[in-house]
Amino acid sequence: MSKQIQFRRGTSTEHENFTGAIGEITVDTTNKTIRVHDGETPGGTVLAKQSEIPDIAGADYVIESQLPTAANNYTWYRKYKSGWVEQGGCAPTINDGPWTITLPIEMADNHYSSVITREYTTYGGTTTDYAYDAVWVKTATGFNCWEKWTGSIALNWHVSGMAAS
């Protein structure tokens, strides 16, 4: 013989005036949903029905990523289901350019957007950041940039666009 399990149940109004025990599951007979209780919240937490969950089939989301570490030369990226990629990094501090940046993810072509920020220390010790465009060779796998500078500077970069297929 099969066994039947029955949970405590009540209407939506009854649930709003009820605080269930920690981990208790109850059935809302008005909305035909399940509520999970924490021992503190009146009404508990309503769990969504499958029909209430949005369809994400057409949504774009991250399918691959990398955090910056010393092992990957302080580069990072986020690659999306659509093929869009955002990536960036920090070039080491050097005295005077040029910098050659190799992208962690190859782009579809050289028509991607790029933002470069130069960080430098003045003789007074003040650090200043500002964006500039000094890219003079851009390919699908990387770019070169250069600016004559006296003193110690670091280069922060960010590019975004479609990845190579």
* pLDDT per residue as tens digits for the range 44-95: 999 999 888 888 888 999 999 999 999 998 999 999 999 999 999 987 666 5
State which CATH number among 3.30.300, 2.40.160, 3.30.9, 2.60.40 fits the domain covering 62-162.
Answer: 2.60.40
Q: pLDDT digit string (tens) for 86-100?
A: 999 987 666 566 778
What is the rounded distance in angstroms from the CA atom of residue 50 to the CA atom of residue 33?
Answer: 10
Q: Where in the chain is the domain with CATH 2.60.40?
A: 62-162
Which ranges constitute the DSSP H helices of the chain?
12-16
What is the largest distance, in Å, between two alpha-carbon atoms of the chain?
A: 87
How far, in Å, are 52, 82, 102, 123, 141 from residue 106 at the CA level? 39, 15, 9, 38, 5
Q: Where in the chain is the domain with CATH 2.10.10.30?
A: 8-52
Give 88's strand partners.
Answer: 76, 158
Q: Which CATH architecture has domain 8-52?
A: Ribbon (2.10)
